[in-house]
Structure 1
């Protein structure tokens, strides 16, 4: 069994790579999906956010307004620190539980799909770390199209993350998603062969 850490900057294409790895047979542990589950009404993160920020972050149906929370976090480093300190232990606990479950099921390849893998220190949980990246201009364009951000807001979201060059230095392998989808998937295929046929169980 091998544990691969998969990370990438916002709008880099990491989710596309993760979905393809799942199609190929990898067991995916998606940190964003886990966070989403924990943010459902009545769940631990939901209650923590509501107590901290108040009802201004709620939609009319009681769900969290992620756009409002995003603006609060990205405009105030102290709030970002609070969210990280509150959310990371809960998410990491769930990740560890799922790793143990997959280990018990003798899964051959587990992928930790974590946007802030290096920032959270969870790269230590993986045997190898794979970084999906795209040129910053492409990230901006994708983010503006996907989330409806203006250019300044998109640039601020990218700038709030660890610099790409630093992530490249820390990663064991890279996937350049600046080009076409077939080009990206060919890179994934090469890594899949390496991860599943190198004699490491």
Structure 2
């Protein structure tokens, strides 16, 4: 059984690729879902975030994502502080899900947006990167999140560049075309994968 790390840049279409791969029978262990569980209402993670970021960090019993987002996007120290709380909890949740799937003989996709940023490539057998050119990434992010170009660029530059991720990848899944093109590209990658395993 193989553990595949799936990553890409913000707005590259990684979640869509994960859904397509799930449809092909892979078990998806999603870092974003684990991150939400890590700060779920009443959790130890949420208590730690509130202690670190103050009362505005919690709104109606949940983490105030807008407030936290504003705090961390332009402040490296605060981003590290948040990550040091959430990442260990997320790793534990994901590790448990991965081991459960492997014990049932299933191939696992670890869907990790910041795989390279958090130096997690050693924790997987192979890395698949969802790729779109940076210009398209900027357009899609502005449209998807209703952001100004400046805000979108700040989010993109807070990650390792998509070109760098593409260079480091074992497999590149191109998502610069239509959804139909993407489905064909994913099918091709999966066929190749099963041929070699």
> So what's the TM-score if we normalise by structure 2?
0.95
Once residues 3 and 24 of structure 1 are traced to their aligned partners in structure 2, the CA distance between those partners, rounded to angstroms, is: 15
Q: Over the residues paired in the alignment, what is the CA RMSD in angstroms?
A: 1.2
What residue number does 2:23 align with?
Answer: 23
Distance apart, 1:189 and its partner CA: 0.6
* SS of residue in 2 equivalent to 1:117: coil
What residue number does 1:125 align with?
Answer: 123
Cα deviation digits, residues 151-201 of structure 1 (max 9, x gap):
110111001101222212211011111111111111111111122232x3x
More deviation in 169-178 or 13-22? 169-178
* SS of residue in 2 equivalent to 1:5: strand
Cα deviation digits, residues 81-136 of structure 1 (max 9, x gap):
112222211111111111111111111x2100000011112221211100002122
166, 169, 175: which one pairs with 2:167?
A: 169
User: Runs of 4+ in structure 1 displaced over 4 angstroms?
Assistant: none
> So what's the TM-score if we normalise by structure 1?
0.93
Once residues 71 and 155 of structure 1 are traced to their aligned partners in structure 2, the CA distance between those partners, rounded to angstroms, is: 14
| Residues 1-201 of structure 1 mapped to structure 2, 5 A cutoff | 1-59=1-59, 61-107=60-106, 109-198=107-196, 200=197
* SS of residue in 1 equivalent to 2:63: coil
Cα deviation digits, residues 27-52 of structure 1 (max 9, x gap):
00000001111111111221111111
Gaps of 5+ in 2: none
